[in-house]
Amino acid sequence: MRFSNLIASAILLATAVHAIPDASVGSGLVARDPMPGKKPVAKSPAAAAKAAPAAKAPVVVAVVAKMPTTPQLAFPADNGDIKPWKYVGCYAGGVELTYNTNMCSCQNHGWKGTGMPPFTVEKCIATCKGAGFRYAGIKGENGKKSCWCGSGVSDADKLSSDSKCDVPCEDNQTSSTKGYKMNQCGGKTVWSIYKAPCFKEVDQETAAGGYQYAGCFYYQGCGCTVLPEKQASVSGDNLSVDSCLEACAMKGYAYAGMTATQQGTGKYAWWRGDQCWCGGRISSWWIKRHQNYPGDNSKCQTLCSATAKIKKSLSKDDYQFCGHGWHMSVYFNPDLAESDTCLPEPVKPEPEKPQPEKPQPEKPQPEKPEPEKPEPEKPEPENPDEAYYDEK
């Protein structure tokens, strides 16, 4: 089953579990959207407390197969025919790459006998793609190359040239047929960054409004077993669904999740919804577990910490819920997920070059008529008799 189909099934299952009986139909079910429409991102605790998953969802009793008790946490590499990722440049060591693939060229020194090198650019990219990330980064000395993934990098971390990415990969670590070059393999402390070609660009103005409630997912140990990236900037005593969705959308993550932590001890212990998590993909193990235990969808009943602070001033319809003990409220944004079909990048129109101005031909000026020169007047003779003799 394709991964996208698994997610679609999980969302449908979550919607069904949050259904309520319709009196006009008898035993029929009417789907209730726990987060109808596209919610605006909260700017204050009061604005944050909008409707989220239904407060009282019926428990679904089902006969299910038992799942293994040990979750499979690692994301398998994508072994399909991957469209080559685009090299985007050399980046400073502080660039935000958050997912360690634990792939290192220092491992498996006897690989030549198996034909399987421990590290290649293709393996790094396939692993980041399998985990649903937008970017892959490679750095390190020869024999110590490492691969990390992330969903957002800042142009502020991009170096002006590739000169510091000066530790090339070895011959067996790149593939010229995929367009990957040996000298685009990072440096000792800086990263060569590659970008997936099949993601849409993130629209920061609208991305947070595209999330849909996918269900209440059980997890073990910590929320990182379902979604790996904790967002400390919004976690704590002022967490809302909207603030978590905004944080995940800003970094291009298709998944956002909220969990609760236990406060106090003994009979005074209580749960507070105060943790925000993001991820590019959920492993198939957790999706199957969620499908096999539909009753989990009734467990996310802990108020988000922002809602709890102003609970008395809100109606129950305005409560927001952020998971519960060992359960995560999960949201999915299809607009931020990787597409199965890579669309060609839009061609940016080149700015028109200014044309040199052609000199305008001079218009012939109409000739001005020359003023007539006056004929000099002959002086009149003073003596008429003298004039007579002159004529003779």
Per the CB < 8 A criterion, the answer to whether 175 and 117 are in contact is no
CA end-to-end distance (rounded Å), the chain: 137
Residue 65 has pLDDT above 70, yes or no: no
The single residue listed with the structure tokens 């991102």 is 41
Q: Report pLDDT for 96.
A: 87
Reported pTM: 0.66
How many residues would you count in the chain? 392
Query: Of all residues in the chain, what percent carry a pLDDT higher than 90?
Result: 38
- In this prediction, residue 381 has a pLDDT band, given cuts at 50, 70 and 90, of low
Q: Which residues contact 196 (CB under 8 A, 6 or more apart)?
A: 85, 128, 129, 133, 134, 135, 136, 338
Q: Which residues contact 15 (CB under 8 A, 6 or more apart)?
A: 31, 32, 33, 213
Q: Report pLDDT for 362.
A: 76
What are 150's two structure tokens?
A: 């992330």
Radius of gyration of the chain (CA): 37
**Bigger pLDDT: 30 vs 106:** 106
260-281: average pLDDT: 94
Among the ranges given (156-160, 319-323, 383-387), the one the predictor scored with the smallest mean pLDDT: 383-387
Q: Report pLDDT for 58.
A: 34
Task: Give SS3 for 347.
Answer: coil
Residue 221, CA distances (Å) to 71, 261, 292, 318 in order:
10, 12, 20, 30
Q: What is the pLDDT of residues 114-157, one digit of tens each?
A: 445 567 888 899 999 988 899 999 999 888 888 999 988 889 99
CA 365 to chain centre: 67
Q: Report pLDDT for 347.
A: 56
Q: What are phi and psi of 49, to 5 degrees?
A: -80, 75
Bridge partners of 115?
A: none
Q: Could you give the CA distance from residue 304 to residue 309 in angstroms, rounded to a whole number?
A: 9
Q: What is the pLDDT of residues 257-270, one digit of tens each?
A: 999 999 999 989 99
